[in-house]
Structure 1
Amino acid sequence: MYIIPILIIILDQLTKYFSVVNLEGEAPIVLIENFLQLNYVRNYGAAFGIMNSQRTFFLIITIIIVFGIIFYINKYNNTKIMNYSLVMIIGGAIGNFIDRLRVGYVIDFIDVNFGEVYDFPVFNIADSFIVIGTILLVILVMTDNYEDKGKE
Protein backbone atom coordinates (compact mmCIF):
# COMPACT_ATOMS: atom_id res chain seq x y z
CA MET A 1 0.00 0.00 0.00
CA TYR A 2 2.89 2.39 0.63
CA ILE A 3 3.78 2.20 -3.06
CA ILE A 4 0.80 4.52 -3.74
CA PRO A 5 2.30 7.59 -2.04
CA ILE A 6 5.62 6.91 -3.75
CA LEU A 7 3.89 6.86 -7.15
CA ILE A 8 1.97 10.03 -6.27
CA ILE A 9 5.20 11.79 -5.25
CA ILE A 10 6.96 10.73 -8.46
CA LEU A 11 4.03 11.85 -10.65
CA ASP A 12 3.75 15.13 -8.72
CA GLN A 13 7.45 15.95 -8.94
CA LEU A 14 7.69 15.02 -12.63
CA THR A 15 4.74 17.25 -13.52
CA LYS A 16 6.18 20.09 -11.46
CA TYR A 17 9.52 19.67 -13.24
CA PHE A 18 7.64 19.85 -16.55
CA SER A 19 5.91 23.04 -15.44
CA VAL A 20 9.17 24.70 -14.39
CA VAL A 21 10.92 23.80 -17.64
CA ASN A 22 8.03 24.65 -19.97
CA LEU A 23 5.86 27.19 -18.17
CA GLU A 24 7.97 29.37 -15.88
CA GLY A 25 8.17 32.83 -17.38
CA GLU A 26 5.98 31.82 -20.33
CA ALA A 27 2.39 32.53 -21.27
CA PRO A 28 -0.10 29.93 -20.05
CA ILE A 29 -0.80 26.97 -22.33
CA VAL A 30 -4.53 26.86 -23.06
CA LEU A 31 -5.83 23.29 -23.25
CA ILE A 32 -9.58 24.00 -23.24
CA GLU A 33 -10.60 27.58 -23.98
CA ASN A 34 -12.22 29.34 -20.98
CA PHE A 35 -11.82 26.23 -18.80
CA LEU A 36 -8.36 24.61 -18.49
CA GLN A 37 -4.87 25.93 -18.93
CA LEU A 38 -1.39 25.21 -17.64
CA ASN A 39 -0.05 28.23 -15.82
CA TYR A 40 3.10 28.31 -13.63
CA VAL A 41 2.48 29.81 -10.17
CA ARG A 42 4.64 29.96 -7.05
CA ASN A 43 2.48 29.34 -3.99
CA TYR A 44 4.11 30.55 -0.77
CA GLY A 45 1.08 29.61 1.34
CA ALA A 46 -1.30 26.69 1.71
CA ALA A 47 -4.38 25.80 -0.31
CA PHE A 48 -5.57 28.79 -2.34
CA GLY A 49 -2.58 30.82 -1.08
CA ILE A 50 -3.83 31.18 2.49
CA MET A 51 -1.27 31.74 5.27
CA ASN A 52 1.27 33.15 2.86
CA SER A 53 4.96 32.85 3.82
CA GLN A 54 4.47 30.37 6.68
CA ARG A 55 7.01 27.87 5.28
CA THR A 56 8.39 26.63 8.62
CA PHE A 57 4.90 26.11 10.01
CA PHE A 58 3.87 24.06 6.96
CA LEU A 59 7.03 21.95 7.08
CA ILE A 60 6.47 21.10 10.75
CA ILE A 61 2.73 20.48 10.44
CA THR A 62 3.27 18.23 7.40
CA ILE A 63 5.73 16.06 9.33
CA ILE A 64 3.27 15.77 12.23
CA ILE A 65 0.34 14.93 9.94
CA VAL A 66 2.25 12.33 7.89
CA PHE A 67 3.55 10.52 10.98
CA GLY A 68 0.10 10.78 12.60
CA ILE A 69 -1.55 9.17 9.56
CA ILE A 70 1.09 6.41 9.42
CA PHE A 71 0.52 5.72 13.12
CA TYR A 72 -3.25 5.62 12.57
CA ILE A 73 -2.97 3.22 9.61
CA ASN A 74 -0.76 0.84 11.58
CA LYS A 75 -2.71 1.01 14.85
CA TYR A 76 -6.32 0.64 13.74
CA ASN A 77 -8.31 -1.88 11.70
CA ASN A 78 -9.27 0.30 8.75
CA THR A 79 -11.00 -0.72 5.56
CA LYS A 80 -8.78 -0.87 2.48
CA ILE A 81 -10.50 2.15 0.99
CA MET A 82 -9.89 4.09 4.21
CA ASN A 83 -6.19 3.29 4.02
CA TYR A 84 -6.13 4.25 0.33
CA SER A 85 -7.64 7.63 1.16
CA LEU A 86 -5.03 8.16 3.88
CA VAL A 87 -2.05 7.20 1.69
CA MET A 88 -3.33 9.57 -1.02
CA ILE A 89 -3.18 12.36 1.55
CA ILE A 90 0.33 11.26 2.59
CA GLY A 91 1.56 11.24 -1.03
CA GLY A 92 0.15 14.68 -1.74
CA ALA A 93 1.43 16.15 1.51
CA ILE A 94 4.95 14.84 0.89
CA GLY A 95 4.88 16.10 -2.72
CA ASN A 96 4.20 19.65 -1.54
CA PHE A 97 6.60 19.20 1.42
CA ILE A 98 9.43 18.47 -1.04
CA ASP A 99 8.72 21.73 -2.87
CA ARG A 100 8.67 23.79 0.33
CA LEU A 101 11.89 22.19 1.51
CA ARG A 102 13.69 22.35 -1.85
CA VAL A 103 12.62 25.73 -3.30
CA GLY A 104 10.71 27.47 -0.48
CA TYR A 105 7.29 27.43 -2.17
CA VAL A 106 4.87 25.00 -3.80
CA ILE A 107 4.81 24.83 -7.59
CA ASP A 108 1.25 25.01 -8.95
CA PHE A 109 0.33 24.82 -12.62
CA ILE A 110 -3.20 23.45 -13.21
CA ASP A 111 -5.47 26.42 -13.81
CA VAL A 112 -9.21 25.78 -14.05
CA ASN A 113 -11.86 28.41 -14.48
CA PHE A 114 -15.50 28.31 -15.32
CA GLY A 115 -15.66 31.07 -17.90
CA GLU A 116 -16.66 34.36 -16.34
CA VAL A 117 -18.31 32.63 -13.36
CA TYR A 118 -15.38 31.39 -11.25
CA ASP A 119 -11.61 31.30 -11.56
CA PHE A 120 -10.49 28.35 -9.40
CA PRO A 121 -7.12 28.77 -7.63
CA VAL A 122 -4.17 27.20 -9.46
CA PHE A 123 -3.19 23.78 -8.05
CA ASN A 124 -1.00 20.73 -8.71
CA ILE A 125 -1.13 16.91 -8.71
CA ALA A 126 -0.28 16.70 -4.97
CA ASP A 127 -3.17 19.04 -4.16
CA SER A 128 -5.49 16.85 -6.25
CA PHE A 129 -4.62 13.72 -4.28
CA ILE A 130 -4.95 15.54 -0.95
CA VAL A 131 -8.44 16.73 -1.94
CA ILE A 132 -9.54 13.34 -3.35
CA GLY A 133 -8.21 11.53 -0.27
CA THR A 134 -9.90 14.00 2.06
CA ILE A 135 -13.27 13.83 0.28
CA LEU A 136 -13.11 10.03 0.37
CA LEU A 137 -12.16 10.16 4.06
CA VAL A 138 -15.12 12.41 4.88
CA ILE A 139 -17.53 10.13 2.99
CA LEU A 140 -16.18 7.05 4.79
CA VAL A 141 -16.48 8.66 8.21
CA MET A 142 -19.96 10.06 7.51
CA THR A 143 -21.19 6.65 6.33
CA ASP A 144 -19.35 4.78 9.12
CA ASN A 145 -17.37 2.71 6.59
CA TYR A 146 -13.84 3.45 7.74
CA GLU A 147 -13.33 0.59 10.17
CA ASP A 148 -12.96 -3.06 9.11
CA LYS A 149 -15.53 -4.59 11.39
CA GLY A 150 -14.76 -8.13 10.18
CA LYS A 151 -11.38 -8.16 11.94
CA GLU A 152 -10.83 -7.99 15.65
Structure 2
Amino acid sequence: MMDSAMTMPGARRWSKWFVLAALVIVLDQFSKLYFNGRFQYGEVRSVVEGFFSFTLIYNPGAAFSFLHDAGGWQKYLFTALAFAVSGWLGWNIVKGRFTGMMNLAAAFIIGGALGNVIDRLAYGHVIDFIMVHYYNQWYYPAFNLADSFICVGAALMVLDSLKKPSR
Protein backbone atom coordinates (compact mmCIF):
# COMPACT_ATOMS: atom_id res chain seq x y z
CA MET A 1 0.00 0.00 0.00
CA MET A 2 1.37 3.44 -0.92
CA ASP A 3 2.10 5.98 1.74
CA SER A 4 -0.32 8.92 1.51
CA ALA A 5 2.59 11.41 1.44
CA MET A 6 3.93 9.74 -1.68
CA THR A 7 0.65 10.19 -3.52
CA MET A 8 0.84 13.98 -3.16
CA PRO A 9 2.24 15.70 -6.23
CA GLY A 10 5.95 16.35 -5.80
CA ALA A 11 6.15 14.55 -2.44
CA ARG A 12 9.17 12.55 -3.56
CA ARG A 13 10.96 15.81 -4.25
CA TRP A 14 10.60 17.14 -0.71
CA SER A 15 9.89 14.23 1.65
CA LYS A 16 13.56 13.26 1.88
CA TRP A 17 14.31 16.60 3.54
CA PHE A 18 11.79 15.91 6.30
CA VAL A 19 13.21 12.41 6.77
CA LEU A 20 16.65 14.02 7.16
CA ALA A 21 15.25 16.50 9.72
CA ALA A 22 13.74 13.56 11.63
CA LEU A 23 17.11 11.76 11.58
CA VAL A 24 18.77 14.87 13.01
CA ILE A 25 16.19 14.90 15.82
CA VAL A 26 16.74 11.19 16.57
CA LEU A 27 20.55 11.56 16.58
CA ASP A 28 20.31 14.64 18.78
CA GLN A 29 17.93 13.04 21.28
CA PHE A 30 19.94 9.80 21.54
CA SER A 31 23.12 11.78 22.17
CA LYS A 32 21.43 13.83 24.90
CA LEU A 33 19.97 10.72 26.54
CA TYR A 34 23.43 9.14 26.50
CA PHE A 35 25.18 12.06 28.19
CA ASN A 36 22.32 12.77 30.60
CA GLY A 37 22.40 9.12 31.71
CA ARG A 38 26.15 8.66 32.00
CA PHE A 39 27.39 11.99 33.37
CA GLN A 40 26.74 13.84 36.59
CA TYR A 41 25.64 17.45 36.16
CA GLY A 42 28.75 19.60 35.72
CA GLU A 43 31.07 16.62 35.25
CA VAL A 44 33.82 17.16 32.67
CA ARG A 45 35.69 14.39 30.86
CA SER A 46 38.58 15.38 28.65
CA VAL A 47 38.66 13.98 25.11
CA VAL A 48 41.57 16.03 23.74
CA GLU A 49 43.51 17.45 26.67
CA GLY A 50 43.33 21.23 26.82
CA PHE A 51 40.99 21.56 23.83
CA PHE A 52 37.90 19.32 23.73
CA SER A 53 35.81 17.80 26.52
CA PHE A 54 32.43 16.28 27.18
CA THR A 55 30.38 17.70 30.02
CA LEU A 56 26.78 17.79 31.17
CA ILE A 57 25.22 21.23 31.43
CA TYR A 58 21.57 22.33 31.41
CA ASN A 59 20.74 25.53 29.56
CA PRO A 60 17.32 27.08 30.25
CA GLY A 61 18.07 29.90 27.79
CA ALA A 62 19.12 29.98 24.17
CA ALA A 63 22.53 30.08 22.47
CA PHE A 64 25.34 31.09 24.82
CA SER A 65 22.81 30.89 27.72
CA PHE A 66 21.03 33.99 26.42
CA LEU A 67 18.13 34.76 28.82
CA HIS A 68 19.03 31.77 31.02
CA ASP A 69 17.95 33.66 34.13
CA ALA A 70 14.75 35.21 32.74
CA GLY A 71 12.41 33.29 35.04
CA GLY A 72 10.94 30.68 32.69
CA TRP A 73 9.01 32.67 30.09
CA GLN A 74 11.93 32.28 27.66
CA LYS A 75 11.09 28.57 27.27
CA TYR A 76 7.83 29.54 25.57
CA LEU A 77 9.44 32.26 23.46
CA PHE A 78 12.17 29.95 22.13
CA THR A 79 9.68 27.11 21.60
CA ALA A 80 7.33 29.35 19.60
CA LEU A 81 10.25 30.76 17.62
CA ALA A 82 11.52 27.26 16.78
CA PHE A 83 8.07 26.19 15.60
CA ALA A 84 7.63 29.36 13.53
CA VAL A 85 11.04 29.09 11.83
CA SER A 86 10.65 25.34 11.26
CA GLY A 87 7.17 25.85 9.81
CA TRP A 88 8.37 28.58 7.47
CA LEU A 89 11.35 26.53 6.31
CA GLY A 90 9.20 23.40 5.88
CA TRP A 91 6.62 25.34 3.87
CA ASN A 92 9.33 26.63 1.53
CA ILE A 93 10.71 23.10 1.08
CA VAL A 94 7.25 21.79 0.15
CA LYS A 95 6.60 24.68 -2.24
CA GLY A 96 9.94 24.06 -3.99
CA ARG A 97 11.25 27.55 -3.33
CA PHE A 98 14.70 26.43 -2.18
CA THR A 99 17.76 25.07 -3.97
CA GLY A 100 19.12 21.67 -2.98
CA MET A 101 21.68 23.27 -0.68
CA MET A 102 19.01 25.45 0.90
CA ASN A 103 16.79 22.37 1.44
CA LEU A 104 19.70 20.63 3.18
CA ALA A 105 20.27 23.73 5.33
CA ALA A 106 16.58 23.93 6.17
CA ALA A 107 16.44 20.23 7.13
CA PHE A 108 19.42 20.71 9.47
CA ILE A 109 17.87 23.78 11.07
CA ILE A 110 14.44 22.17 11.45
CA GLY A 111 15.93 19.04 13.02
CA GLY A 112 18.16 21.02 15.35
CA ALA A 113 15.49 23.49 16.39
CA LEU A 114 12.91 20.79 17.08
CA GLY A 115 15.50 18.67 18.90
CA ASN A 116 16.04 21.53 21.33
CA VAL A 117 12.27 22.12 21.58
CA ILE A 118 11.86 18.53 22.77
CA ASP A 119 14.32 19.25 25.58
CA ARG A 120 12.57 22.48 26.56
CA LEU A 121 9.18 20.82 26.69
CA ALA A 122 10.36 17.62 28.40
CA TYR A 123 12.87 19.05 30.89
CA GLY A 124 12.46 22.82 30.94
CA HIS A 125 16.03 23.25 29.65
CA VAL A 126 18.30 22.13 26.82
CA ILE A 127 20.91 19.44 27.49
CA ASP A 128 24.39 20.52 26.36
CA PHE A 129 27.46 18.26 26.45
CA ILE A 130 30.15 19.42 23.98
CA MET A 131 32.79 21.81 25.27
CA VAL A 132 35.57 23.37 23.22
CA HIS A 133 38.21 25.24 25.19
CA TYR A 134 41.85 26.25 25.34
CA TYR A 135 43.26 24.83 28.56
CA ASN A 136 41.86 26.97 31.39
CA GLN A 137 42.22 30.27 29.54
CA TRP A 138 39.23 30.26 27.17
CA TYR A 139 35.95 28.34 26.96
CA TYR A 140 33.34 28.28 24.23
CA PRO A 141 29.89 27.81 25.78
CA ALA A 142 28.79 24.18 25.94
CA PHE A 143 26.54 23.05 23.09
CA ASN A 144 24.92 19.93 21.63
CA LEU A 145 24.37 18.21 18.27
CA ALA A 146 21.16 20.18 17.63
CA ASP A 147 23.10 23.43 18.00
CA SER A 148 25.76 22.08 15.64
CA PHE A 149 23.19 21.20 12.97
CA ILE A 150 21.58 24.65 13.32
CA CYS A 151 24.98 26.34 12.84
CA VAL A 152 25.91 24.17 9.85
CA GLY A 153 22.47 24.85 8.35
CA ALA A 154 22.91 28.60 8.81
CA ALA A 155 26.37 28.44 7.22
CA LEU A 156 24.95 26.51 4.25
CA MET A 157 22.26 29.18 3.84
CA VAL A 158 24.91 31.88 3.75
CA LEU A 159 26.96 29.91 1.20
CA ASP A 160 23.87 29.33 -0.93
CA SER A 161 23.00 33.03 -0.88
CA LEU A 162 26.55 33.97 -1.94
CA LYS A 163 26.43 31.77 -5.05
CA LYS A 164 23.15 33.20 -6.34
CA PRO A 165 23.41 35.83 -9.08
CA SER A 166 22.39 39.32 -8.06
CA ARG A 167 19.02 40.53 -9.28
TM-score by length of 2: 0.82
**2:125 equivalent in structure 1:** 105
> How many pairs were matched up?
145
Larger radius of gyration: 2
Moved over 3 A (4+): none
- Point out where structure 2 has 5 or more consecutive residues left out of the alignment: 1-15
1:131 CA displacement? 0.2
Alignment of 1:126 with 2:146, yes or no, is yes
**1:36 equivalent in structure 2:** 52
Q: Higher relative contact order by CA 8 Å / sep ≥ 6: 1 or 2?
A: 1
1:26 CA displacement? 6.2
The answer (yes or no) to whether the contact 2:130–2:143 under 8 Å persists in 1 is yes
The correspondence for 1:93, drawn from 113, 126, 130, is 113
Alignment of 1:59 with 2:75, yes or no, is no
The answer (yes or no) to whether the contact 1:92–1:126 under 8 Å persists in 2 is yes
**1:148 equivalent in structure 2:** none
**2:10 equivalent in structure 1:** none
1:62 CA displacement? 1.1
The correspondence for 2:103, drawn from 83, 90, 108, is 83
Q: Are residues 51 and 26 of structure 1, via their aligned partners in 2, closer, same or farther at CA, if it must alter by over 3 Å? A: closer
The correspondence for 2:35, drawn from 1, 19, 23, is 19
Over the matched positions of the two proteins, sequence identity in percent amounts to 34
How many Å separate the matches in 2 of 1:132 and 1:108? 17
- Point out where structure 1 has 5 or more consecutive residues left out of the alignment: 146-152
**1:6 equivalent in structure 2:** 22
**1:138 equivalent in structure 2:** 158
